[in-house]
């Protein structure tokens, strides 16, 4: 891969004597993209130059079927804004030169994504609450951003405030229909409940990150430095992201749930109505189950040998069912 990357980058970096690729390695654990880090060195204009990059490339199968062009457009929409994202550099939708579609972006060299360190590492004891508050301030900035003048409408069709919930539910029910390996009675009951009890219309049609949670942003004791993993981004109801971020499967109690909502409401000017939050909380379980089942089928059918696909299903399917039952029971 080094030689192919070097050949691809040389004309784009205006390299005089080619590009040297070093420190190329794949980040383990990616469930919907292969993510590679590497450094590049070259000469241009008589000067030695170097830069760290990240390559995001489609794997043969993944937990999530998503489009590179869509993810790229959402990243690009937030460049230069108060939502920190890496700078996008190049997008290729064909199979050349790496054998799969990919894009390359600058690498943010500050911070880490480790979930456990942020949840309980002593090095973050003095910053944990600040990062927790900042997490919801950044989410508010995502949701209040103006997207109509970006490339986003070129790659996704906006729903109306009244149809956000239905379009989201239709999509994930379809994923479950296509990928379940055995009956899923709890999730099917949840889907029936969601259709019978629709949420209020969205307060606005916003950018929805789709997987906003601890683990998908770079952080340090100074705050949040980069929001990553936009492969499930779309336009929809912002409360979808709020419910996802606060869901018990990955909520790490950086700050109390009530404070999460208060910080978000103050920063966004939006209201997190209890009935809307409950609906999207139940939906989170349906969506999560759709992700686990998609990965499990890919592994079972031999389209992927990535253990993370089956590990997620093995460890989280029952836990997700339990969370859905608890969510449904809260309003009983």
Token pair recorded at residue 199: 């949420």
Are 296 and 303 in contact by the 8 Å Cβ rule? The answer is: no
For residue range 214-273, list pLDDT tens digits in order: 999 999 999 999 999 999 999 999 999 999 999 988 888 899 999 999 999 999 999 999
Quick one: what percent of the chain has pLDDT higher than 70?
92
Instruction: Name which CATH class applies to 2-106.
Output: alpha beta
Q: What confidence score (pLDDT) does residue 61 get?
A: 47
pTM, to two decimals: 0.93
Q: How far is residue 55's CA from residue 100's CA, in Å, rounded to a whole number? A: 12
Question: What is the bridge-based pairing of β-strands 88-92 and 102-106?
Answer: antiparallel
Q: What mean pLDDT value characterizes the chain?
A: 92
Q: What confidence score (pLDDT) does residue 304 get?
A: 65
Q: What average pLDDT score do residues 191-201 get?
A: 98
Candidates 182, 163, 8, 150; CA nearest to 83 is 150
Q: What average pLDDT score do residues 273-302 get?
A: 89
Are 105 and 37 in contact by the 8 Å Cβ rule? The answer is: no
pLDDT of 66 above 70 = no
Identify the three-state secondary structure at position 198: coil
Q: What confidence score (pLDDT) does residue 253 get?
A: 86
- The helices-and-strands tally (H runs, E runs) of the chain is 11, 9
Q: What confidence score (pLDDT) does residue 96 get?
A: 86
């Amino acid at each position: 891969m080094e030689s192919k990357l070097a050949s691809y980058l040389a004309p784009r970096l205006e390299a005089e004597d080619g590009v040297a690729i070093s420190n190329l390695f794949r980040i383990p654990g990616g469930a919907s993209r292969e993510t590679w880090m590497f450094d590049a060195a070259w000469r241009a204009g008589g000067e030695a130059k170097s830069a760290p990059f990240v390559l995001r490339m489609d794997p043969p199968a993944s937990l999530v079927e998503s489009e590179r062009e869509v993810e790229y457009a959402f990243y690009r929409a937030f460049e230069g804004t108060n939502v920190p994202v890496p700078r996008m550099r190049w997008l290729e939708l064909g199979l050349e030169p790496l054998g799969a579609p990919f894009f390359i972006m600058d690498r943010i060299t500050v911070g880490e994504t480790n979930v456990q360190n942020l949840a309980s590492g002593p090095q973050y004891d003095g910053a944990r609450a600040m990062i927790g508050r900042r997490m919801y301030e950044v989410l508010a900035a995502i949701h209040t951003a103006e997207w109509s003048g970006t490339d986003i409408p070129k790659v996704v069709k906006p729903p109306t405030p009244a149809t956000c919930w239905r379009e989201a539910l239709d999509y994930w029910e379809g994923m479950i229909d296509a990928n379940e390996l055995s009956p899923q009675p709890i999730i099917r009951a949840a889907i029936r409940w969601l259709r019978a009890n629709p949420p209020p219309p969205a307060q606005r049609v916003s950018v929805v990150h789709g997987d906003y949670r601890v683990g998908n942003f770079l952080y340090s004791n100074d705050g949040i430095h980069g929001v990553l993993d936009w492969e499930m981004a779309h336009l929809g109801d912002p409360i979808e992201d709020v419910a996802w971020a606060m869901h018990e499967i990955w909520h790490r109690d950086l700050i109390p749930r009530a404070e999460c909502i208060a910080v978000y409401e103050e920063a966004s000017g939006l209201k997190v109505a209890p009935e809307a939050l409950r609906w999207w909380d139940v939906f989170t379980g349906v969506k999560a189950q759709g992700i686990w089942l998609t990965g499990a089928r890919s592994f079972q059918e031999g389209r992927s040998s990535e253990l993370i696909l089956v590990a997620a299903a093995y460890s989280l399917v029952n836990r997700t069912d339990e969370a859905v039952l608890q969510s449904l029971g809260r309003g009983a």
